[in-house]
Amino acid sequence: MMWLQRELELPALGRGFHLITSHIRQALPELKQVRVGLLHVFLCHTSASLSINENADPDVPRDLERTMNALVPEDFPYHHTVEGPDDMPAHVKCSLMGCQLTLPVRNGELCLGTWQGIYLCEHRNRATPRRLVLTLQGTTQS
């Protein structure tokens, strides 16, 4: 049985939905050793989130961003406004979407569907680098 935990820092990205699947795979070369397991991805921030969605059509992340902005508008009368007009909406979006994912691992690969990718959903206009904790557990190849 293997247990491994690693931190991954992503560079500051602009507002929007950014594919990070390859970053996660590169940070965990040990993934190839896992026959059956789980990868838990935790985002250590409250103004960004994680999502699994279609990774083929560039319209998808743009439409997801537009939809989230329509659902959680910046001009709502929030009380928490000290950090700018995009801060409280970012917290709401994070609460709606979540800051963690658990993915199955089989034969050294993430069990993602053909058109699925892992997204960092950046909800701030001027973000900071984002830190992920990656926890891999599973039985190794024999």
**What is the three-class DSSP state of 95?**
helix
Domain ranges of the chain: 2-74+82-140
pTM for the structure as a whole: 0.96
Residue 82, Ramachandran bin (φ over 0: left; ψ between -120 and 50: alpha; else beta): alpha
pLDDT along the chain (142 residues), means of 10: 97 97 98 98 98 97 98 97 96 98 98 97 96 98 75
Burial of 22 (0-12, 13-18, 19+ CB in 10 A): exposed
* Of the candidates 106, 109, 136, the residue with the CA atom closest to the CA atom of residue 3: 136
Distance, CA of 1 to CA of 42 (rounded, Å) = 21
Please name the residue that has the structure tokens 């680098």.
Answer: 129
Instruction: Determine the pLDDT at residue 123.
Output: 98
Instruction: Determine the pLDDT at residue 141.
Output: 79
Distance, CA of 131 to CA of 26 (rounded, Å) = 15
What CATH class has 2-74+82-140?
mainly beta
Instruction: Determine the pLDDT at residue 129.
Output: 98
Q: Which two tokens stand for residue 140?
A: 């190794």
